Structure 1
Amino acid sequence: MPRVTLQTIADRVGVSRMTVSNAFSRPDQLSPALRERVLAAAQELGYAGPDPTARALAKGTTGAVGILLTDSLRYAFTDLVAGGFLAAIAEELAPTGLAITLLTSSGSGDVVPARDVAIDGAVVYSCDPTSPAVSWLRRRHLPMVFVDQDQVDDVSSVNIADREGARAAAQHLVDLGHRRFAIAMNGENGRHGFIADPSTLVEGHASRQRRLGWFDVLEPAGLKPAFIRHPLEQTEDVRRDARFLLSADDRPTAFLCFSDTTAVGVRQAAEDLGLRVPEDLSIVGFDDGPVAVRMQPALTTVRQDVVEKGRAAAAALTEAIRRSRDGAPAAVSHVVLPAELVVRGSSGPAPRTPV
């Protein structure tokens, strides 16, 4: 089949090639009736539209924004909280016509996504701030928004009140009489397993803020928790280490977890050992994602509004892109959304008898 071009359509309709081009890219230059004739001819001839690459070069825009994630894109498709966040961004961007491109914070061979993929702007989502990928995006001078990242002066950000939420979770358990604590933490890079001194870890923003919030309560009370750390999706490793801690004579009666997903591994460890939740062990998560209400008993957790977080990130990015295109000065904003303790059935009074 011969290739259909703008000239092919122009010959069919009896207009100039520029008129056909305007029908797709500058519809205000044509009468509605003429544009309808051009588009009808294009559809009849099987024309897919102007080449996106050529259009991007002409307009100086790609029509896509990048979302920089952790090293593995698997997280975006398997973690329900991350999925809710990304879905909210997609929904907010839909009226703008901007598409989403997922970027890993690593590259293979000569390809470095953060450096090489054509995008109009980027959301940096819960990444190591020292990652070369973040550095590449900044060197490209792209409009950006940081989400679950440390604030910087020249980039808008959207964060959760992680420290306040974690503080409320720890205080809830202390008020219930618990004195033997364990913490199940998330961490992609660095050491995993049992951590003697968590303050020495290289941590992302959310991890550090939640740890600080828990210790805001535990340290003044003279409580020293056991501490385990694993990548978010490795619940089997959490389960193994939690089972080891819960097998000890002086086992913890309360577990604070970085996320609801992490709490699943702790709950499974308790089941393995025949421990009752919350009679023998209280568990508190973080996120209030779908898994929280599926657990039995339902999980006490700290709620963050991932939908609002996604909407706020998309709004900040589209504004940054608009101002960049208009040559206007950047308007940096820092949004901190609340975190709220949601008490359910997985937390209860500390056991009265020695365990």
Structure 2
Amino acid sequence: MVARVTLQTIADKVGVSRMTVSNAFSRPDQLSPTLRDKILAVADELGYVGPDPAARALAKGTTGAVGVLLTESLRDAFTDEIATAFLGAIAEELTPTGLGLTLLTATTSGDLIPARDVAMDGALVYSCDPESTAVDWLLRRKIPVVFVDQVPADGIPAVNVDDRTGARAAAQHLVDLGHRHLGIVTSGVRGDHGRIADEESMIDGYVANQRIAGWLDALRPAGIEPTIVRLPHGRPENGYDGGRMLLAPPVPDPSQDGATPPTGPRPTAVLCFSDALASGVVQAAQDLGLRVPEDVSVVGFDDSPLAARLRPPLTTVRQDVLAKGHAAAAALTRAIASFRTDTPADPAHLRLPATLVVRASTAPPPA
């Protein structure tokens, strides 16, 4: 059995105290450069990499990590371009602070509840159900928390996008082009199947509700009642299903509750919750023999890199996701600093702009 190397092992070999060895790793300013180099060289020779992180965290009262709570699966965090850009901006903002990033899901696995059990100095709650038990656990732990794309709450710093204004501009763009038969494809339905919905059923998620409200702000005064399709996820394949539901209504399936197809004329334009969903709608339209935008216009939201790659390039609403990530991480580091010094935190609520970007996926409706 290989003997375990400890601080005392190194201290005995160098001929110094255990505290001196500890200082070489955690308080280098307490030692001369020559002595510290000697200690580190011996540690390297013996295969010692440093004090145990858990013990160091216990001694310092800090873990050196912050969490990001996600409602969706971790798969979406790594495959959705908006989510990956957001997380990348957070990591970039945190780099100078030395804080690491831990991704947490709102789901549980056996007895493990990540929001309750994972050690962290603070957390970002990113587009989660406010009634989620995971959000409740974070708040009950009384660690610094910042809400992102959440309903703002008193006393908690928040970073949001002006989704309602951006969505209103997108819908008004289609109204001004002359469209009167519109569809909406959004996410948030519970279960495995998409369904036709109404405004009253749009209750899942602050961002979804804000965008629905913005679209209706422009459509209702024009006398337009859109057909709304809600989907379980925001992936392109879900957008494809939603596009087919709107553009080629299926035969009703009695086995799927709420799957009644829409009635009335086929939409000449579709507003989508995200660029990812919009890409699926475009593909569905093209597979049905419809031309975009000559037969049907499609509008996304986010202005992700995908929007410019699509053919035709996608009209969308731009949110500055990098600014959102930097602002969220900066708010959290400020909250953590206030927590450590027991000084009042700044519970500011920041709202970032959302602006319409017109490209080639929208045009006047067919005659």
- The aligned residue for residue 59 of structure 2 is 58
Give distance in 2, aligned partners of 1:201 and 1:254. 20
Note the 1:8-47 alignment, pairs <5 A: 8-47=9-48
Partners of 1:287 and 1:304 within 8 A in 2: yes
Deviation, 1:190, is 6.3
Note the 1:91-170 alignment, pairs <5 A: 91-170=92-171
- The aligned residue for residue 350 of structure 1 is 365
Partners of 1:228 and 1:238 within 8 A in 2: no
- The aligned residue for residue 173 of structure 1 is 174
Partners of 1:169 and 1:214 within 8 A in 2: yes
Deviation, 1:148, is 0.3
Partners of 2:184 and 2:271 within 8 A in 1: yes
Partners of 1:293 and 1:299 within 8 A in 2: yes
Deviation, 1:191, is 8.8
Amino acid at match of 1:263: A
- The aligned residue for residue 221 of structure 1 is 222
- The aligned residue for residue 321 of structure 2 is 306
**More off after superposition, 342-351 vs 206-215:** 342-351
Gaps of 5+ in 2: 250-263
Deviation, 1:233, is 3.9
> SS of the residue aligned with 1:178?
coil
Give distance in 2, aligned partners of 1:263 and 1:126. 20
Q: Report whether the alignment pairs 1:6 with 2:7.
A: yes
Partners of 1:167 and 1:217 within 8 A in 2: yes
- The aligned residue for residue 73 of structure 1 is 74
Partners of 1:176 and 1:350 within 8 A in 2: yes
Partners of 1:191 and 1:201 within 8 A in 2: no
- The aligned residue for residue 259 of structure 2 is none
2:350 alignment partner, one of 321, 335, 347:
335
Q: C-alpha offsets along residues 110-169 of structure 1, whole Å, 9 cap, x if unaligned? A: 111101111110000000000000000000001010000010011101000100000000
- The aligned residue for residue 341 of structure 2 is 326
Alignment: residue pair count: 352
Deviation, 1:338, is 0.6
> SS of the residue aligned with 2:230?
strand
Amino acid at match of 1:322: A
- The aligned residue for residue 272 of structure 1 is 287
Give distance in 2, aligned partners of 1:89 and 1:237. 28
Note the 1:201-212 alignment, pairs <5 A: 201-212=202-213
Amino acid at match of 1:114: A
Deviation, 1:188, is 5.2
> SS of the residue aligned with 1:124?
strand
- The aligned residue for residue 287 of structure 1 is 302
TM-score, normalising length: structure 1: 0.96
Deviation, 1:71, is 4.1
Give distance in 2, aligned partners of 1:188 and 1:111. 26
Give distance in 2, aligned partners of 1:211 and 1:242. 17
CA RMSD of aligned residues (A): 1.5
Give distance in 2, aligned partners of 1:253 and 1:92. 43
Deviation, 1:234, is 4.3
Give distance in 2, aligned partners of 1:241 and 1:161. 25
Give distance in 2, aligned partners of 1:101 and 1:323. 21
Gaps of 5+ in 1: none
> SS of the residue aligned with 1:336?
strand
**More off after superposition, 217-226 vs 193-202:** 193-202
- Structure 1 vs Structure 2: percent identity of aligned residues? 64
Give distance in 2, aligned partners of 1:199 and 1:216. 15
Give distance in 1, aligned partners of 2:14 and 2:278. 64
Amino acid at match of 2:290: L
**More off after superposition, 12-21 vs 129-138:** 12-21
Give distance in 2, aligned partners of 1:143 and 1:188. 31
Partners of 1:67 and 1:101 within 8 A in 2: yes
Specify whether residues 186 and 244 from structure 1 end up closer, same or farther in structure 2 by C-alpha distance, changes over 3 A only: closer
Partners of 1:232 and 1:261 within 8 A in 2: no
Specify whether residues 71 and 240 from structure 1 end up closer, same or farther in structure 2 by C-alpha distance, changes over 3 A only: closer
- The aligned residue for residue 257 of structure 2 is none
- The aligned residue for residue 86 of structure 2 is 85
Partners of 2:317 and 2:356 within 8 A in 1: yes
Amino acid at match of 2:287: D
Q: C-alpha offsets along residues 296-346 of structure 1, whole Å, 9 cap, x if unaligned? A: 000000011111100001000011001100111121111111111111110
> SS of the residue aligned with 1:219?
helix
Give distance in 1, aligned partners of 2:224 and 2:195. 17
- The aligned residue for residue 186 of structure 1 is 187
Partners of 1:190 and 1:202 within 8 A in 2: no
